[in-house]
Amino acid sequence: MKKSYNTMKQEQKKNKLINELSNANTPSTRRLEIGNVFSEMGDFRLGTGVREYEIDEPMLSHPDTPIKFYPEENIEVAIGVVNNNVLAYLPHGVIQSFGYFEDIAELDKFKKRFPYITDVFLTGDFNFDGFYDIAIMDGIGYGGVNIFYKIFFWNQKEKRFDLPAEDGGISNPSIDMDKEILSSSMKSGPFWYYTEYKSKNGKIYPSKETSPLGHDLHHVVIYGTNGDIKYDLIIDEEFLDHVDENTKPAKRIVKVNHAILHDEPSESAVSKDVHFLEKYTTVTIWKTNEYWFLVSPLGRDDLKKWVNHNVFTEEE
């Protein structure tokens, strides 16, 4: 279907405005104008659709609001909720909308089920740039164990907040100011999964992911600042806090008779050359794929085959 002339003109106008927003030198006053234009076009964009108007004494509907904090010295910001839309009341009468948060709308229901959930809003220097940011609760999972937050970073130059760090939110965030690490923890089944974030030029990026595999083994991936994988290892639990270029892959002892070897992580891909490992063979563990491990006998790094995880469990 061909687009109408008016539709094409509107798309061209939007693209031009988006390019302006992408320019770090676009001043906040112009960003406000662009947000208003988008609103008039029926396109409500998070963080741009803000207007300057007098603050009528707030129609704040949430019992935990307004909260006030100072993202930087002498700059006070109030956070409020109007019809489940979270708003930031900025200096000079400017209001910035963070958007609609469904879980805040049903917070009273959640608090009856999970009375220990008290922190709808968190403030802190989440990207270690010296300024305070705001995190807003955006989901609850696993019976109230996992609490997800969207984090909005304070933009000191623009005197406003930037878009969330992670679209899906960060679960149970915590900050280590000494190491400058933002940590996320999430429970699934019997295990806890962890992600660590570091900051570069005010932007956070995942620097380390840790996934438990059972048998006291953990899959650890270390990332560089541009997202490249520096280390991808299966390691013993005791080495979790000290992963670097000297960390060795985990080793385990085969505990079943004739542990069948596979060329691929599949029961149907039985190895055509070396068929099995004897019981009590010590192997190095290189990779994981769900219930499978890629292993090699000690001293035979050239002989890598897949085994089912059950080979490390004593036969009854």
DSSP per-residue letters across 80-136: EEETTEEEEE-GGGEEEEEEE-HHHHTHHHHHHH-TT---SEEEE-TT-SSS-EEEE
Do 204 and 232 sit in the same domain of this protein?
yes
Do 298 and 256 sit in the same domain of this protein?
yes
- Domain span at residue 149 reads 50-171
Would you tell me how many other CB atoms lie within 10 Å of the CB of residue 87? Answer: 22
- Residue 1, pLDDT score: 47
Do 64 and 94 sit in the same domain of this protein?
yes
Using CA atoms, how far apart are residues 33 and 28, in angstroms rounded to an integer?
A: 9
Do 257 and 281 sit in the same domain of this protein?
yes
**CA neighbor of 237 nearest in space, from 250, 223, 255, 225:** 250
Using CA atoms, how far apart are residues 58 and 80, in angstroms rounded to an integer?
A: 8
CB under 8 Å to 43, separation ≥6 — which residues? Answer: 14
Do 57 and 131 sit in the same domain of this protein?
yes
Entry pTM: 0.73
Using CA atoms, how far apart are residues 196 and 193, in angstroms rounded to an integer?
A: 10
- Residue 54, pLDDT score: 39
- Residue 52, pLDDT score: 39
Do 305 and 203 sit in the same domain of this protein?
no
CB under 8 Å to 125, separation ≥6 — which residues? Answer: 131, 132, 133, 175, 177
- Residue 57, pLDDT score: 41
Q: In 3-state terms, what secondary structure has residue 31? A: helix
Do 161 and 257 sit in the same domain of this protein?
no
Per-residue pLDDT of the chain (316 residues; tens, 9 = 90+): 444 556 667 777 777 877 776 565 666 667 667 766 766 666 545 444 444 333 344 444 555 667 889 999 999 999 988 877 889 999 888 889 988 887 776 666 666 776 666 678 899 999 999 999 999 988 888 777 888 999 999 999 999 999 775 566 899 999 999 999 999 999 998 889 999 999 998 889 999 999 998 878 999 999 999 889 998 999 987 777 777 778 889 999 999 999 999 999 999 999 988 889 999 999 999 999 988 999 999 988 889 999 999 999 887 6
Do 159 and 220 sit in the same domain of this protein?
no
Count of alpha carbons within 13 angstroms of residue 235, beta-carbon side: 21
Using CA atoms, how far apart are residues 144 and 31, in angstroms rounded to an integer?
A: 38
Of the residues 248, 276, 302, which one is the last residue of a structural domain?
248
Do 86 and 143 sit in the same domain of this protein?
yes
Phi and psi, residue 21, nearest 5°? -65, -30
Do 155 and 111 sit in the same domain of this protein?
yes
- Residue 33, pLDDT score: 72
The CATH number of the domain holding residue 267 is 2.30.30
**CA neighbor of 223 nearest in space, from 196, 184, 192:** 196
C-beta of residue 126 within 8 angstroms of C-beta of residue 43 = no
- Residue 141, pLDDT score: 83
Using CA atoms, how far apart are residues 2 and 59, in angstroms rounded to an integer?
A: 45
- Residue 119, pLDDT score: 78
Would you tell me how many other CB atoms lie within 10 Å of the CB of residue 240? Answer: 15
Of the residues 171, 204, 234, which one is the last residue of a structural domain?
171
DSSP 160: E
The CA angle 158-184-219, to the nearest 5 degrees, is 130
Identify the burial level of 203 via C-beta atoms within 10 angstroms of its C-beta, where 0-12 means exposed, 13-18 middle and 19 or more buried.
Answer: middle
Do 56 and 155 sit in the same domain of this protein?
yes
Number of domains making up the chain? 4
CB under 8 Å to 128, separation ≥6 — which residues? Answer: 177, 180, 199
Which residues on neighbouring strands pair with residue 262, listed in sequence order? 270, 306
- Residue 63, pLDDT score: 59
- Residue 88, pLDDT score: 92
Supply the Cα-derived Rg of the chain in whole angstroms. 26
Longest pairwise C-alpha distance within the chain: 78
Do 36 and 123 sit in the same domain of this protein?
no
